[in-house]
């Protein structure tokens, strides 16, 4: 009860103070990026009672170490994937008001939407019910229904916890940002989940960036750290061992041995200088950053080089088929990254417009093709993690900004739908073979166990052993809804 | 008193487990008061006394409020405080809207404190009156503190002239701190260069400074730098951070945020700083130049500050940001906290928030023409103006724009505690040019110039059309004169290959022989064999070749080449290739053979069959018929050159039975390549229609200058006060000109529609006919309008309003601009810049200070309110604030004062520091040494360019595309928006355009990668190295290393550093020799330079 008012009132204060002033408390001067690292090395000091950045350790025992965050750009129809609603076929072509479900049109319920783009052609209610474009089958021991477009993921259903009762409030693609950060676009810009985790948890492998992003992020969500600072932005990585990241290797020809001598000199000179400036935390941090950089530039290409993988593994991810290969390469890269201790791998699936899943028209062609692209690779990832014993410590999350309308847009599409959609999680600490929450009979409103997007964040934080309230920055007000509540019903 | 017994009971049982602790005494000051301060004071303290209750002393709690005592010692059930913190729903304190409930352990503490008798010190002071908050009282210039003789001699070394040093020294004396000595001369020079102009000194400048023994050598440098144009660029970027400079962004080409050409504001910032315009004047211009200087385009650029807040989709968000950042940037106030509820810390009510918003409610953004450009996409001046003078402002319930309190519209106003006397808002009556920018003389010139350019264009098009018609009407060059224009073809060659015709053919390659009335080519190998016609065909011709394909492998191609000359040709052939028999047109124009897909057509060509292939060519259009059936239409994508005609085979053997060459008469209709369908209009017909259009276009363009002049004259007459007596007459003329121009335009449109109809292929004919008919009707309407032109005409606007939202119509977008402005923003500006204002000058000083010393005097840089942190040196801050105001708000004066202080000149090193000082103040809170600062992104990049000697001094202008990483321009000129960042700069914590009151200074590995791996950095390193070589001549490694150190770091290397550099040079040279590099010594030295650029002290301002 206590948080309910906050939840209905997400227009919170934009926090009055920035972290910049913390810099004058003796911490944070160097940016919070290396705060935890320096702290562990005993370089940084925090006076008693004075705010200090996180020390890089979980707040309580963790169930998982890493997160693979799969985000489908554009909005996946829950109705054609994980939330089977046969009533749509029964009432196909009827206006919702002619069906027993006219109650879904209660203006009070619809007022959930916070409109950014007034009078936009999209993001409207579509009232003529559109039949399901695909059949469903029961899979696994749990007998959970999954659409016929996702047979491989169906085969993994006993590892999935599907939350069918998600909702959000931005009825346009700003909901992409909202799904990542928890805040509506009109409230300003907030750090996203990966940035919080990067900020809160120390490194598992000092040779690799701890927050990596792959795929297309052309729409709204170009930054991650926001008020935590750019040090907590994801490092964009390409699945290309020859050129995995910007400035990842000399852009003009420099031999490795030559560069090593140069790096060694930088290190030497910085250390000589440190004698004169013994209390300069920035200097200490920069020495460390150069060491990391040199190692990172060597490690990353190795991680993204798949030559050591067996043919069987490559097939498992669909690398042998041009349709599944692009997604498969990202999934295999994700496994290799978490295997080496990267904390947070964020993958945005599908470029173009507002995202490839944005099926305002020709939904059948769009979703059948997109499902085909991702079904085998993602299932391959789950199977591979499992057989390597990595699934127990890795959280895989499948999300999207919103679902799609039960009604039809044009003759053969579905519009954005914020009132009910599906997300699934699998892996460390998750109870597989679970369905949690439900939408109404036509998949319109999340009815049972409603969850706002930050409940997914809270669940992940909880499994990583983080208390989001302990990560707060003084002067930055976060609402109850920003923290969310862990979805305990899907925890193992 | 309402009590929640049930809840309390549950609470007590929950807390029973903690009973063991209950015997411990609760410490009110340490354990209870912090909870009350954090969670209760805002509503129950000095600022507000909700429900009549104050919670800022234990005594006040006992006294209670309207519902009785909040605390009754020892009585849990009687203590309202305890029941309210655990109450459900909206009864709970703090209310759910103010955040979460108290935590269980906090509630337990409160309860135990009450149980134990609610003790508190008897001398407990209530919370201070907000009016007494330091920053809400106007600064009074404090006395410069008198210093002891010891301080003067020992600490300041006799330099007591600078009050900054005196104020700092007082604190050292109090604390027994000993300051560090001056920095090394080279490092100091580098520091002041980077701070004031954003690039390091050159070698010559450093050497000159080192050599200058004059006592004011340093002061001279400071003065020179402050006079440099680069000062404006360096500090302009700082203020662009604070004022949220952003180039426009949106989705694709759709403008959604900020404004196109907002760079005019950036240039205004730079120019104003260089001119040392007063800070107050800058603020006035940014907020209200349109009211204060309505006709001064240079000053109007300043309102970019407000134009930048533009947001297409949500006016509420737009104004929220305007209020928030006006408050933070100029006042150090978090007004935004009062959007949903009264401010929790400062005396700003929710009503005050919306009254503040009302200052901005009427404003919108428009782009005015600038001299020389009429296209607003290319250039223009984005500026604000009061557009909707009557726009009401309402308070929104809980900040929710869908819940305005409409029965209580709010007037602009200030928080009473901060108001300085009565606010006078006087409407401003604008000069005519401000509301009708078309009256500006250059607008007329712009449009006339534009119209003249169109006329020139139209004339050129007309000439072209005439030439084109002449060309297509010209008969084939070889046709007899008498045939000109005739529809008869002249036969030029007719050969049935019954016998040799040596006058007609030349056998160029292959074995050709006549047999059985046929000409045979019998070699089917993969070669090309050629038979050349001795007669060059006319430019428009028809050629027919008859042959039987007899064999060959694998291509089996037989064809005709024309325009054969100098390696260029066009070839048309039939191929019986087993992989796909076809008809193909291909060509060679000096860049390899091209087989355009449009020139290919699958055709069932078989060995043993006989074919008649006819090629018709007119201009660039080629038609091919096979056995009399139209098979291909193709337009050559290049101008033709005359050349020979040949018959060829390629990997084919064939028997030729006939050849005919004719001129192609102009009347013969070819199939157009665009459609390949039924015959289109003849070229002549089309050229005639094109010519007609060109004539009409010229006619329409020609009437424009008169129309523009007539509009301008009528505008001028009408805008005079009182209106010119001729105003009506001139309006009638303008109206007539406008109708005439409309007729000319309608005629042009109709001609264009007729041309489109002529060109349309069958499926589109109907649609084009419809359009033509519409154009006819439009012309009739225009002619009708000309019969009674009236006196309505379109004024010369010279300006375009940005849409107020995505649903704004064109009609409201072009409604006339108001002739008055509300005067609200100029009233606001005069309040903010009032000499008595307690906040403005302090905020400005704090911004300047932090950018010199790396640390602000008030740590909470945009919050000087009660939640903020008090200044470390309050007296110094106030002294500087008053100094700023009294020196006409001159920022250059402040910079000079700061950089010539001893404090600024100290070393940032702590070696040799007094151990007691180090222990007492390790974080340098009291400025006993200088703070090292990480270079801002722009300084990193600009310094590289400067050291490499390639920095382009060009100032101002449109932003550089972010992708032009190698540009030698200063980095502040890159496009900088929420969506577009220059990659290299972004890595070094470039400013966020959403809010950047202070840059982050992160240290992350990708920065190391950018500096060591980027093409930019590697290129600059090589250039710096080359410059060193050029200067040093034949230097040893030792000399080179020492000079590189000096050039890049402005300090000589220590022996240890020198040795490390030399060793690395030796190692690198050896390595590169082994690798066989060209010039290993040079390359090793490039590497050394590259390493020094990666030195911590390169990107650090020491």
- Helices B441-473 and B683-702 cross at an angle (nearest 10°) of 160
Dump the DSSP string for B95-113: -GGG-PPPPHHHHHHHHHH
B991 to chain A, closest Cα gap in Å: 10
**Average pLDDT of adjacent 10-residue blocks, chain B of 1102 residues:** 37 40 76 87 86 90 90 89 87 79 88 90 89 94 85 63 91 91 96 98 97 95 98 98 96 89 98 98 98 97 98 93 97 94 92 97 98 95 97 94 94 95 95 94 95 96 90 54 54 90 87 88 86 90 94 91 91 90 89 83 89 92 90 86 92 93 85 55 80 96 96 92 87 96 96 89 82 96 94 93 91 91 98 97 98 94 91 97 98 97 94 91 92 95 98 97 95 94 90 88 86 96 96 94 97 96 97 92 96 96 94
CA-closest candidate to residue B904, choices B2, B325, B135, B218: B218
Residue A321 backbone class (left: φ over 0; alpha: ψ -120 to 50; beta: rest): beta
Q: Are B293 and B299 in contact (CB under 8 A)?
A: yes
Set of chain B residues whose Cβ sits within 8 Å of the Cβ of A13 = 336-337, 339-340
User: Which residue do the tokens 């534009």 mark?
Assistant: B450
Q: Which residue of A has its CA nearest to B1055?
A: A272
Do residue A293 and residue B911 have CB atoms under 8 angstroms apart? no
> Which of A273, A286, A297 is closest, CB to CB, to B1009?
A297
Q: Is B434 on the interface with A (CB under 8 A)?
A: no
Q: Which residue of B has its CA nearest to A297?
A: B1009
Q: Are B850 and B239 in contact (CB under 8 A)?
A: no
Set of chain A residues whose Cβ sits within 8 Å of the Cβ of B184 = none
d(Cα A435, Cα A84) in Å, to the nearest integer?
12
Provide the residue count of chain B: 1102
d(Cα B946, Cα B1047) in Å, to the nearest integer?
11
Q: Are B1043 and B1028 in contact (CB under 8 A)?
A: yes
Structure tokens at B559: 């064809």
Do residue B1003 and residue A117 have CB atoms under 8 angstroms apart? no
Q: How many CB atoms lie within 10 A of CB B670?
A: 21
B863 to chain A, closest Cα gap in Å: 7
Q: Is B504 on the interface with A (CB under 8 A)?
A: no
Q: Are A108 and A124 in contact (CB under 8 A)?
A: no
Do residue A290 and residue B1094 have CB atoms under 8 angstroms apart? yes
Q: Are B611 and B547 in contact (CB under 8 A)?
A: yes
B1064 to chain A, closest Cα gap in Å: 7
User: Does pLDDT of A6 surpass 50?
Assistant: no
Q: Are A221 and A73 in contact (CB under 8 A)?
A: no
Contacts (Cβ under 8 Å, ≥6 apart) of B1057: A269, A272, B1045
d(Cα B473, Cα B604) in Å, to the nearest integer?
37
A201 to chain B, closest Cα gap in Å: 16
The reply to whether omega before B758 is within 30° of 0 (cis) is no
Q: Is B131 on the interface with A (CB under 8 A)?
A: no
Q: What Å distances lie between residue B970 and B222, B242, B299, B949, B950, CA to CA?
A: 21, 19, 24, 13, 10
Q: What number of CA atoms fall less than 13 Å from residue A114's CA on the CB side?
A: 22
Q: Write out residues 646-705 of B within 8 Å (CB-CB) of A.
A: none
Secondary structure letter of residue A473 according to DSSP = P
Set of chain B residues whose Cβ sits within 8 Å of the Cβ of A273 = 1095-1097
CA-closest candidate to residue B660, choices B504, B890, B852: B504
Q: What Å distances lie between residue B1049 and B287, B909, B935, B1011, CA to CA?
A: 42, 15, 13, 15
Q: Which residue of A has its CA nearest to B980?
A: A222
Mutate to test the interface with B, among A223, A258, A260, A473 (most CBs of B within 10 A): A258
Mutate to test the interface with B, among A171, A181, A262, A263 (most CBs of B within 10 A): A262
Dump the DSSP string for B338-399: GSSSS-SSSS--HHHHHHHHHTTTTEEEEEE-BTTB--TTT--EEEEEE--TT----PBGGG
CA-closest candidate to residue A239, choices A317, A343, A328: A328
Do residue B862 and residue A18 have CB atoms under 8 angstroms apart? yes
A328 to chain B, closest Cα gap in Å: 27
> Which of B979, B1000, B1006 is closest, CB to CB, to A229?
B1000
> Which of B313, B868, B1068 is closest, CB to CB, to A117?
B313
d(Cα B161, Cα B158) in Å, to the nearest integer?
9
Q: Which residue of A has its CA nearest to B1097?
A: A270
Set of chain A residues whose Cβ sits within 8 Å of the Cβ of B1010 = 246-247
d(Cα B573, Cα B560) in Å, to the nearest integer?
6
Mutate to test the interface with A, among B997, B1006, B1055 (most CBs of A within 10 A): B1006
Do residue B909 and residue A277 have CB atoms under 8 angstroms apart? yes
> Which of A45, A269, A277 is closest, CB to CB, to B1060?
A269
d(Cα B687, Cα B694) in Å, to the nearest integer?
10
Contacts (Cβ under 8 Å, ≥6 apart) of B386: B290, B291, B362, B363, B364, B818, B820, B821, B822, B824, B825
A/B interface, count of CB pairs below 8 Å:
250
Q: Which residue of B has its CA nearest to A231?
A: B1002
Q: Are B366 and B380 in contact (CB under 8 A)?
A: no
Interface TM-score (ipTM) > 0.95: no
Do residue A273 and residue B911 have CB atoms under 8 angstroms apart? no
Q: Are B300 and B280 in contact (CB under 8 A)?
A: no
Secondary structure letter of residue B256 according to DSSP = E
β-strands B568-575, B363-368: how paired?
A: unpaired
Q: What is the reported pLDDT for B448? A: 96
User: Does pLDDT of A412 surpass 90?
Assistant: yes
Q: Is B1001 on the interface with A (CB under 8 A)?
A: yes
Structure tokens at B191: 């520091």
Contacts (Cβ under 8 Å, ≥6 apart) of A362: A412, A413
Q: Which residues of B970-1040 form beta strands (DSSP E)?
A: none
CA-closest candidate to residue A396, choices A422, A353, A427: A427
Q: What Å distances lie between residue B741 and A402, B700, B708, CA to CA?
A: 53, 6, 10
Set of chain A residues whose Cβ sits within 8 Å of the Cβ of B989 = 31, 229-230
d(Cα B126, Cα B9) in Å, to the nearest integer?
33
d(Cα B680, Cα A474) in Å, to the nearest integer?
76
Residue B187 backbone class (left: φ over 0; alpha: ψ -120 to 50; beta: rest): alpha
Do residue B1091 and residue A269 have CB atoms under 8 angstroms apart? yes
Q: Which segments of B835-929 does DSSP mark as H helices, in order?
A: 840-853, 874-886, 891-899, 902-905, 915-920
Mutate to test the interface with A, among B38, B1008, B1088 (most CBs of A within 10 A): B1008
The reply to whether omega before B554 is within 30° of 0 (cis) is yes
Structure tokens at B170: 């007082």
d(Cα B497, Cα B669) in Å, to the nearest integer?
29
b/e for B870-900, b at 16 or more Cβ within 10 A? ebbbbbbbbbbbbbbbeeebbbbbbbbbbbb
B913 to chain A, closest Cα gap in Å: 10
Q: What Å distances lie between residue B593 and B554, B567, B1012, CA to CA?
A: 19, 10, 46
Structure tokens at B613: 């292939």
- Helices B229-242 and B263-274 cross at an angle (nearest 10°) of 130
Q: Which residue of A has its CA nearest to B863?
A: A17
d(Cα A408, Cα A122) in Å, to the nearest integer?
12
User: In this structure, what are the phi and psi dihedrals at residue A250, rounded to the nearest 5 degrees?
Assistant: -60, 135
β-strands A160-167, A421-427: how paired?
A: antiparallel
d(Cα A297, Cα A244) in Å, to the nearest integer?
9
Q: Is B254 on the interface with A (CB under 8 A)?
A: no
Do residue B997 and residue A258 have CB atoms under 8 angstroms apart? no
Contacts (Cβ under 8 Å, ≥6 apart) of B898: B164, B848, B849, B852, B853, B904
Q: Write out residues 970-989 of B within 8 Å (CB-CB) of A.
A: 978-979, 983, 986-987, 989
């Amino acid at each position: 009860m206590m948080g309910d008012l906050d939840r209905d009132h997400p227009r919170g204060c934009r926090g009055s103070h920035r972290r910049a002033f913390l810099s004058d408390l003796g911490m944070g001067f160097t940016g919070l990026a290396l705060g935890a690292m320096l702290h562990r090395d005993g370089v940084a000091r925090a006076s008693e009672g004075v705010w200090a950045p996180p020390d890089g350790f979980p707040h309580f025992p963790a169930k998982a170490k890493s997160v693979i965050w799969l985000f489908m750009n554009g909005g996946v129809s829950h109705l054609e994937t994980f939330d089977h609603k046969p009533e749509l076929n029964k009432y196909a072509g009827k206006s919702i008001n002619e069906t027993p479900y006219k109650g879904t049109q209660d203006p009070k319920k619809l007022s959930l939407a916070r409109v950014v783009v007034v009078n936009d052609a999209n993001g409207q209610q579509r009232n003529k019910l559109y039949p399901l474009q695909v059949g469903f089958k029961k899979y696994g021991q749990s007998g959970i229904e999954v659409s016929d477009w996702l047979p491989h993921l169906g085969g993994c259903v006993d590892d999935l916890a599907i939350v069918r009762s998600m909702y959000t409030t931005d009825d346009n693609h700003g909901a992409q940002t909202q799904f990542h950060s928890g805040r509506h676009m009109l409230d300003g810009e907030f750090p996203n989940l990966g940035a919080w985790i990067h900020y809160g948890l120390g490194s598992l492998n000092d040779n690799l960036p701890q927050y990596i992003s792959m795929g297309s992020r052309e729409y709204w969500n170009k930054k991650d750290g926001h008020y935590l600072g750019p040090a907590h932005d994801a490092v964009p990585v390409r699945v290309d061992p020859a050129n995995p990241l910007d400035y990842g290797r000399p852009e003009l020809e420099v031999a490795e041995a030559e560069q090593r001598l140069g790096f060694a000199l930088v290190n030497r000179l910085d250390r000589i200088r440190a004698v004169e400036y013994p209390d300069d935390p920035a200097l200490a941090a920069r020495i460390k950053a150069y060491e990391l950089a040199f190692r990172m530039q060597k490690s990353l290409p190795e991680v993204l080089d798949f030559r050591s993988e067996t043919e069987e593994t490559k097939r498992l991810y669909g690398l042998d088929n041009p349709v599944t290969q692009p997604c498969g390469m990202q999934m295999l890269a994700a496994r290799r990254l978490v295997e080496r201790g990267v904390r947070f791998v964020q993958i945005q699936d599908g470029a173009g417009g507002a995202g490839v899943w944005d099926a305002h028209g020709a939904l059948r062609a769009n979703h059948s093709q997109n499902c085909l692209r991702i079904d085998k690779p993602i299932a391959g990832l789950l199977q591979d993690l499992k057989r390597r014993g990595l699934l127990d410590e890795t959280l895989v999350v499948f999300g999207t900004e919103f679902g799609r309308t039960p009604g039809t847009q044009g003759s053969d599409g579905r519009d954005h739908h914020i009132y009910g959609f599906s997300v699934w999680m699998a892996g460390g600490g998750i109870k597989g073979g679970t369905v949690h929450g439900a939408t109404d009979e036509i998949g319109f409103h999340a009815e049972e166990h409603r969850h706002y997007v930050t409940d997914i964040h809270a669940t992940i934080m909880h499994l990583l052993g983080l208390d989001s309230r302990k990560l707060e920055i003084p002067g930055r007000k976060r609402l109850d809804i920003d923290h969310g509540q862990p979805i305990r019903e899907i925890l193992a | 008193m309402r009590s929640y017994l049930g809840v309390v009971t549950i609470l007590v049982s929950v807390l029973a487990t903690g009973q063991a602790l209950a015997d411990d005494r609760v410490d009110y000051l340490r354990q209870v008061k912090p909870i009350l301060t954090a969670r209760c004071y805002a509503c129950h303290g000095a600022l507000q006394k909700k429900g009549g209750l104050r919670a800022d002393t234990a005594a006040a709690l006992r006294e209670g409020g309207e519902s009785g005592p909040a605390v009754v010692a020892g009585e849990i059930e009687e203590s309202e405080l305890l029941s309210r913190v655990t109450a459900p729903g909206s009864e709970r304190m703090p209310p759910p809207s103010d955040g979460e409930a108290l935590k269980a352990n906090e509630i337990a503490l409160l309860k135990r404190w009450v149980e134990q008798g609610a003790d508190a010190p008897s001398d407990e002071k209530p919370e201070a009156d907000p009016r007494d908050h330091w920053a809400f009282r106007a600064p009074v210039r404090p006395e410069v503190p008198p210093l002891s003789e010891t301080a003067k001699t020992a600490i300041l070394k006799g330099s007591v002239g600078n009050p900054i040093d005196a104020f700092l020294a007082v604190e050292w004396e109090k604390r027994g701190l000993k300051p560090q000595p001056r920095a090394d001369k080279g490092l100091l020079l580098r520091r002041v260069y980077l701070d004031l102009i954003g690039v390091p000194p050159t070698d010559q400048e450093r050497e000159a400074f080192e050599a200058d023994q004059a006592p004011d050598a340093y002061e001279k440098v400071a003065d020179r730098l402050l006079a440099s144009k680069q000062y404006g660029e360096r500090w302009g970027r700082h203020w662009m951070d604070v004022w949220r400079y952003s180039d426009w962004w949106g989705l694709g080409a759709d403008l959604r945020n900020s404004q196109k050409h907002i760079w005019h504001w950036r240039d205004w910032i730079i120019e104003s700083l260089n001119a040392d315009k007063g800070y107050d004047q800058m603020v006035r211009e940014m907020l209200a130049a349109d009211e204060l200087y309505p006709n001064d385009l240079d000053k109007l650029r300043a309102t970019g500050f407000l134009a930048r807040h533009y947001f297409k989709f949500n006016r509420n968000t737009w104004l929220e940001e305007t209020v928030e950042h006006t408050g933070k940037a100029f006042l150090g106030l978090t007004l935004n906290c009062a959007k949903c509820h009264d401010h929790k810390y400062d005396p700003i009510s929710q009503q005050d928030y919306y009254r503040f918003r009302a200052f901005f409610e009427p404003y919108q953004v428009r782009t005015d023409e600038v001299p020389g450009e009429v296209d607003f996409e290319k250039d223009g001046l984005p500026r604000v103006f009061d557009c909707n003078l009557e726009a009401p402002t309402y308070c929104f319930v809980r900040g929710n724009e869908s819940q305005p309190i409409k029965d209580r519209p709010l007037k602009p106003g200030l928080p009473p505690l901060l108001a300085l006397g009565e606010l006078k808002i006087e409407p401003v009556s604008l000069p005519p040019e401000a509301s009708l920018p078309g009256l500006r003389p250059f607008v007329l010139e712009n449009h006339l110039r534009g119209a003249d350019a169109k006329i020139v264009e139209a004339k050129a098009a007309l000439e072209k059309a005439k030439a084109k018609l002449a060309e297509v009407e010209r008969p084939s060059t070889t046709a007899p004169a008498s045939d000109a224009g005739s529809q008869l073809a002249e036969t030029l060659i007719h050969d049935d290959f019954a016998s040799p015709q040596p006058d007609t053919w030349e056998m160029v390659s292959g074995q050709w022989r006549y047999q059985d009335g046929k000409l045979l080519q019998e070699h089917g190998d993969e070669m090309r064999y050629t038979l050349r016609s001795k007669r060059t065909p006319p430019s428009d011709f028809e050629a027919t070749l008859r042959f039987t394909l007899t064999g060959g492998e694998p291509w089996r191609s037989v064809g005709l080449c024309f325009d054969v000359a100098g390696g260029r040709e066009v070839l048309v052939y039939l191929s019986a290739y087993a992989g796909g028999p076809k008809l193909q047109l291909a060509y060679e124009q000096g860049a390899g053979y091209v087989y355009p897909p449009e020139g290919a057509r699958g055709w069932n060509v078989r060995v043993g069959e006989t074919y008649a292939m006819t090629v018709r060519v007119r201009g660039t259009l080629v038609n091919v018929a096979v056995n009399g059936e139209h098979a291909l239409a193709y337009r050559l994508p290049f101008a033709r050159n005359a050349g020979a005609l040949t018959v060829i085979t390629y990997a084919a053997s064939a028997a030729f039975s006939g050849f005919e060459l004719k001129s192609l008469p102009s009347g013969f209709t070819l199939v157009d390549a665009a459609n390949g369908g039924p015959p289109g209009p003849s070229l002549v017909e089309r050229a005639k229609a094109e010519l007609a259009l060109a004539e009409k276009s010229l006619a329409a363009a020609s009437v424009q200058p008169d129309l523009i002049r007539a509009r301008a004259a009528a505008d001028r007459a009408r805008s005079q006060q009182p209106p010119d007596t001729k105003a009506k007459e001139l309006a009638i003329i303008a109206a007539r000109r406008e109708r005439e121009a409309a007729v000319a335009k309608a005629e042009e449109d109709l001609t264009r529609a007729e041309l489109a109809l002529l060109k349309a292929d069958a499926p589109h004919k109907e649609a084009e006919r419809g359009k033509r008919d519409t154009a006819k009707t439009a012309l009739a309407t225009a002619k009708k309008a000309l019969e009674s032109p009236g006196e309505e005409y379109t004024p010369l606007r010279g300006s375009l309003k940005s849409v107020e939202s995505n649903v704004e119509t064109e009609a409201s977008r072009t409604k006339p601009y108001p002739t008055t402005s509300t005067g609200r923003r100029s009233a606001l500006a005069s309040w903010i810049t009032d000499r008595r204002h307690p906040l403005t000058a302090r905020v400005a000083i704090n911004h300047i200070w932090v950018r010199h010393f790396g640390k602000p005097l008030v740590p909470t840089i945009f919050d000087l309110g009660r939640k903020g942190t008090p200044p470390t040196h309050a007296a110094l801050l106030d002294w500087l604030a008053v100094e700023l105001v009294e020196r006409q708000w001159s920022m250059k004066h402040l910079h000079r004062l700061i950089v010539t202080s001893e404090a600024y000149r100290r070393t940032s090193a702590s070696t040799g520091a007094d151990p007691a000082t180090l222990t007492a103040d390790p974080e340098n809170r009291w400025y006993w040494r200088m703070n090292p600062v990480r270079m801002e992104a722009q300084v990193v990049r600009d310094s590289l360019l400067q050291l490499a000697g390639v920095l382009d001094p060009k100032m101002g202008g449109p932003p550089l595309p972010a992708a032009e990483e190698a540009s030698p321009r200063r980095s502040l000129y890159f496009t900088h928006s929420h969506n577009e960042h220059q990659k290299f700069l972004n890595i070094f914590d470039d400013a966020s355009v959403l809010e950047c009151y202070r840059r982050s200074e992160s240290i992350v590995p990708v920065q190391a990668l950018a500096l060591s791996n980027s093409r930019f950095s590697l290129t600059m390193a090589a250039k710096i190295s080359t410059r060193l070589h050029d200067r040093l001549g034949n230097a040893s490694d030792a000399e080179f290393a020492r000079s590189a150190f000096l050039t890049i770091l402005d300090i000589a290397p220590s022996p240890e550093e020198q040795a490390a550099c030399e060793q690395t040079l030796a190692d690198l040279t050896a390595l590169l020799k082994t690798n066989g590099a060209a010039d290993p010594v040079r390359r090793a030295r490039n590497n050394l330079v590259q390493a020094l650029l990666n030195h911590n002290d390169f990107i650090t301002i020491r």
